[in-house]
Chain A
Amino acid sequence: AQSVTQLGSHVSVSEGALVLLRCNYSSSVPPYLFWYVQYPNQGLQLLLKYTSAATLVKGINGFEAEFKKSETSFHLTKPSAHMSDAAEYFCAVRKGGGADGLTFGKGTHLIIQP
C-alpha cells in the first residue's frame, strides 16, 4: 500500500529565506506524486506533480520539487519565502490505478516570519 510521511507538522521560516518541506513516500508501484496547497478556508490547489517524466518538477508560485527514487523522497522547495506562502501543504501519492484516489500526508503548516 502507498503511504506518505511529511516531516514536521509546522515549519517556520523568515521572509526571503529558503522554504524546504519534506515528504517521503512508500509505493509498491511507480509513484505519481503531488504537492497541494491549502489557504485558510479554501479547498486544495495543485502546486506540482511528478508523473515519471523529469525528476525536477517546477510548479506554480516559484515552488519546485525533486523526485529522488533512491531516497524515496519528494521534497518541496522555494528559494525565497513570501508572506503569501503561509498555508497548509500536503504531499500525496496516487494509490494506483486511475480511479483509486490519493493517499495524503498529514500536512505541514508553513509559517512565514516577517
Chain B
Amino acid sequence: DVKVTQSSRYLVKRTGEKVFLECVQDMDHENMFWYRQDPGLGLRLIYFSYDVKMKEKGDIPEGYSVSREKKERFSLILESASTNQTSMYLCASSAPREQYFGPGTRLTVT
C-alpha cells in the first residue's frame, strides 16, 4: 500500500511566522505535489516536483516555496504566514496515471 504521510494534522501559527509543512512518501515516486483545499474552491495546485531538487510552480505559488532534498520528502514553506493562508494543505505523490494523497494538514494562521 502506498503511504503518504504529513507531519501534522492540525497546526496553529501566528502571522509572520515561517511555517514548514512536511510530506513523506514510501513508494519511491518521482513526482510529488502540494495542494491547498478551500471550501467552494476545490483543490488548487501550489507546487510540484518531478525529481530531487527540481520544482515547478503550480496555479497558486505566490507566498509559498518548496524544498525537495530527498526523493521521499517534499516540504512546503510559508516564508511569512498570513491569515489568507489559513487552509487545508494536501500532499500527494504519483505513480503513472494516479495520485496518492496524504491525510492533510489543517493550518490556521492567527
Contacts and interface: CB of A to CB of B under 8 A. Distances in A.
B97 A107 contact: no
B26 to A, nearest CB: 15
Interface string A23-62: 0000000001010100000111110010100000000000
Given A44-B90, A101-B48, A102-B99, A9 B40 contact: yes
Contacts of A104: 35, 42-44
A99 B56 contact: yes
Nearest to A105: B42
Nearest to B99: A102
Interface stretch (B13-21, B71-79, B100-108): B100-108
Contact of A102 (B45, B96, B104): B45
A107 to B, nearest CB: 5
B41 A106 contact: yes
Which bracket fits the contact residues of B? 20 to 34
Given A9-B40, A43-B90, A100 B101 contact: no
Contacts of B96: 98
Contacts of B104: 42-43
B1 interface: no
Interface string B39-70: 01111110010100000101100000000000
A85 B62 CA distance: 36
Contact of B33 (A9, A32, A101, A105): A101
A97 to B, nearest CB: 9
Contacts of A63: none
A66 B3 CA distance: 29
Interface of B: 4, 30-31, 33, 35, 40-45, 48, 50, 56, 58-59, 90, 92, 94, 96-104
Given A46-B100, A98-B94, A104-B35, 8 more contacts: A42-B104, A43-B102, A44-B43, A44-B90, A49-B98, A101-B33, A102-B45, A106-B40
